[in-house]
Amino acid sequence: MSETPSTDIKEDPTPAAIPVPEPATPAAAPKPEDQLAAARQEAAASYDRYTRAVADLENFRKRTLREKDELRQFATSGLMDDVIPILDNLGLGLAAAAQQTDAKAIISGVTLVLEQFKTTLARHGLKEVKPDGQRFDPHLHECISHQPSAEVAEEHVMQVVRAGYTLNGRLLRPASVIVSSGPAQATEAKS
């Protein structure tokens, strides 16, 4: 038999040196006066930022109101640029009508100016609502009367009294219409 060498591990009777933290030397703790001064300085800086933000907000509000007012005043300038030539043509038409004795020529001239005016307004989004023969729509039409009619179906527009208008799809004025109540009913004689 062979002998195995002994591997006895002997433990060191003294424990390994573990670094023990040294007690912290008290760093110079800020004095209450220094803390108070720092807090006051921070408060002053915060108050300065606050007052600047309030002033910026007030300036923004004033600028926005001014721009809104200018926009309202000059929003129609494009339309006015297009209407001015129509006014010129109408003035020329009236001057020509004063010298003209032929009513047909005057009517023709005024009709041309009216068409020019309608075309200009249509380019700016105005659309005429003329519902002749259409089914009555309370969202676009205003019924001012019902009349019996054998030619026009019940609840359909018989006559447009006043045209309506929409601006870019929004109703400005409903069309005033007379609506058919259907064929006239024969009244029965009472006995």
Q: In this predicted structure, what is the pLDDT of residue 189?
A: 44
Q: Residue 81 has which token pair?
A: 């640029």
Q: Tell me the pTM.
A: 0.57
Structure tokens given for 143 = 């019924």
Cβ atoms < 10 Å from Cβ of 178: 18
Question: What is the average per-residue pLDDT within 174-183?
Answer: 91
6 compared with 54, residue with greater pLDDT = 54
Other C-beta atoms lying within 10 Å of the C-beta of residue 177: 28
- What tens digit of pLDDT does each residue of 108-118 get? 888 999 999 99
User: The tokens of 19 are what?
Assistant: 């670094």
Counts for the chain of helices (H) and strands (E), in that order: 3, 6
Of 2.30.22.10, 3.50.50.60, 1.10.10.10, 3.20.19.10, the CATH number of 126-184 is 2.30.22.10
The answer to which of 12-26, 36-50, 64-78, 157-171 has the lowest mean pLDDT is 12-26
- Residue 166 CB-density burial (10 A; 0-12 exposed, 13-18 middle, 19+ buried): middle
